[in-house]
Structure 1
């Protein structure tokens, strides 16, 4: 019996059908993703080490990076865009995600009337185009023909209104809050799904112990959804450091006023394609894109290897 068992196992393994259909189904996705994402990324990284000299592409090593960080003109614009990008990200982390978590907690309350309508209403802006959202809010906030002054006058707060998109101190905050309004439905729905995934036995045990209301949320539910909050945080980081469309729609390629809303996406656009009197520079544009890639890669790695491992996981 002991001699036959290995032979039978090997024969069963030989008779096991090969699942070629898996490769057939994966092939279109792999090909499209490689053509649209992987190859352009590799070409961008390669181009950052080259420059055009006398009409020919010449390998210059890290000279483009030295120019980006060492040349006063390039360095000033880069650090300004990077700083604005971090502010853009922090506003989303401090406003969008907490409000999204609070909305998800409210929508998960049992017996809430019109919960489906509220979910749809909060998530609907996420489906809208950046261009539509940017132009609508630009019209709303306009001090000339916008409805914001009139709406604030209805509640006696017209004195607080100002041309927020035209002031250096408030333009970036205004654009960030518009982005928060558009994408608040994403953390809300992800957290809502995580809350629904909590077993009823845990909630019932908490209620038996007298833990109800917001105390139940903070003591029981919040620790259980920490992995989902971590996913939302890293998605927010990646999305914000890839942002471009909304700022371009509301403030233009120059990201006014005086580049106070300039982020890495708009800085990359002006550099690579050129704008007005600025000529496009593909090598420097690829260099900025490479820096953006490295920043996002660093943030993702910190999350995966430093934060995610420390998030307490509950298994049932």
Structure 2
């Protein structure tokens, strides 16, 4: 090769490499971010991987936490506008589908759907934002996980990418002003409370005065069941003559004559049906306050009211899914879980 040809080849290589698009990998960081939907400037935890895909996680003024998943700036692809637009999975957890309805008639009132922005980004609610830290769901899995895999769907195909979650919590925590670790005391508190409520239900079922027992149980749960502790429930029930101890099965001679109160008997099947109905509303996008209002309007001697608050709280602590298959699976599993707890408390 002549010196001239060598020079031309060298210059060409420099020019090509200078104009070739490259994606620089970055660590998780906190930056000011402008929400592409409402132009609100927020503090966000962001990261861009070595392929150029990026994530921004932030809290809006309504306290809800959202994220924006974006294609590389150099990408010529466009995300589908409707249907299944993406799917993601954290470590070995179940995959989550992101779906967008075809029209307004397909959107449940009050339910904010994922939004496609200019065909290049997906904006979606990640966490309801209530409490010091998520105890379950996608954001919890991100804080505890190692890797996030995402698949974007286009009209003519799809693209996969992954994100390293190492150090994500160091940026997400301060950006959202949350604790990055799940509070084990809070988790234990909720489990102990739920167990006490379930045992209370069984005690009332075995009582000769079901209506009175359910009234006591409702009063013991108080106006804010979320703050109730298992010990408070046990003490309150015991003070009113209903200690939460194993109840022996009554003999035939001890069986009381059926009364009107017996028609209020709440068995585990009925509790399971209640749990199913509540989770169906949860997965349809009905607001939690609506379900709580329904429970509060029930008569004090209605057996549903005694357990309703706790079941609503448990249901709305579960994530809201987009794919119908995931919704139905969650509804069935939740109803079965509540029934199992009921039978175990017997």
TM-score where L is the length of structure 1: 0.27
- Structure number with greater CO (CA < 8 Å, separation at least 6) is 1
TM-score where L is the length of structure 2: 0.25
| Higher fraction of helix | 1
